[in-house]
Structure 1
């Protein structure tokens, strides 16, 4: 379980996240939706230790993690797929994937996971010796996800995984997220594409101007009038 308790985050005097309390169960896909600038990415960056909270707690599997370093948080079992992919452009696909396992000492298990990712992402296997900057946007997103899985996480944070992708590739990303969850991993999505996120998720929250305005089951939230008008566009 990942739990946020009265979490607030400031950038200087600006409040990015304002007294947010949320909890999501283990082994499920869940999402936070909201418009650009609502604070969604800041929440993920704070969970992964890239941003320090001003106040509040982040609890993962019963242990507070808000004071840990990013390295320690990866060691605890959380991996982050950032917005914009952020692959290493001048490294090969294979090198990018292996960087994801840099904290692991179990060489045999790392090799098994590498082979499994190549099996799950045949495009990456075909391009394993290519530089990452030669890949398409969808292939780079696959690479960023594969790199995160190489850390052997129990929780995967995904920031706008559908951004900039074609409708066909968005559907492929949905299948990938479902397969990650089917392996027993939890996934927390933040998305502007509410229709995609809600279709994939068990539970959902709406973030508006740094505050939670609505929480509930994702399937029911798709029928909420405010969500439909503001975020789904129907």
Structure 2
């Protein structure tokens, strides 16, 4: 479904991502793990059109998207849950969710999806008319995920969804990701929390200093000595 071919991305003269080639199939949860500054977020921002690559290709369902606008990429079926959530603080929960559907014209389907998200996230349903800045960190993360789902995506990009959350909320977030995948959406995670990411994923890649250092089945990576020492801490 999503394939990177020799992707290189610069910030000025600095290389953030260098000659990355990797592909993930549709229908599953997959992840890219690595330390802070490895280039994980840059890859997601480049897939979603927020950052343009210096060279290389990004293919989604076999079609190149690296030159498309962020709007066109959303229309193709990719939604991005950014690091730090970036909800609209002075809008209500419901208004934030509806913004996710701004490119959709199917009013009945939008209402159906809004009701489904409120069912999926009871806390959001309880707080539909509260301003987003009154929510806890975990609730804001749920809101950011719900807003992405409102775009009716085929692929959801999630950037550090467990960041800043308590262990209880991290476990709840993992359940949400499984639920989204069960609903038929593919998920690409980038995470520093390798234990969580690998436990959720089918395929995984390790990014180090902007390059792919290791890739394969997530379950096998859980037993890889380098991954366990460097990223899981056991």
TM-score when scaled to structure 2?
A: 1.00
Could you say which residue in structure 1 is the equivalent of 2:201? 201
Deviation at 1:161, TM superposition (A): 0.2
Q: Deviations over 1:67-91 (max 9, x none)?
A: 0000000000000000000000000
Deviation at 1:17, TM superposition (A): 0.2
- How far apart are the structure 2 equivalents of 1:184 and 1:126? 26
SS in 2 for 1:108: helix
Alignment of 1:113-132 (within 5 A): 113-132=113-132
> Structure 1: where are the runs of 5+ without partners?
none
* 2:47 pairs with 1:50: no
Aligned length: 234
Q: Deviations over 1:84-110 (max 9, x none)?
A: 000000000000000000000000000
Deviation at 1:132, TM superposition (A): 0.1
- How far apart are the structure 2 equivalents of 1:30 and 1:220? 13
- How far apart are the structure 2 equivalents of 1:116 and 1:80? 19
TM-score when scaled to structure 1?
A: 1.00
SS in 1 for 2:30: strand
Deviation at 1:171, TM superposition (A): 0.4
Alignment of 1:143-222 (within 5 A): 143-222=143-222
Could you say which residue in structure 2 is the equivalent of 1:67? 67
Could you say which residue in structure 2 is the equivalent of 1:89? 89
- How far apart are the structure 2 equivalents of 1:184 and 1:22? 22
- How far apart are the structure 2 equivalents of 1:164 and 1:5? 32
Deviation at 1:231, TM superposition (A): 0.2
- How far apart are the structure 1 equivalents of 2:184 and 2:139? 24
* Cα RMSD for the two superposed structures: 0.3
Q: Deviations over 1:162-201 (max 9, x none)?
A: 0000000000000000000001110000000000000000
> Structure 2: where are the runs of 5+ without partners?
none
- How far apart are the structure 2 equivalents of 1:178 and 1:120? 12
Could you say which residue in structure 1 is the equivalent of 2:40? 40
- How far apart are the structure 2 equivalents of 1:109 and 1:82? 25
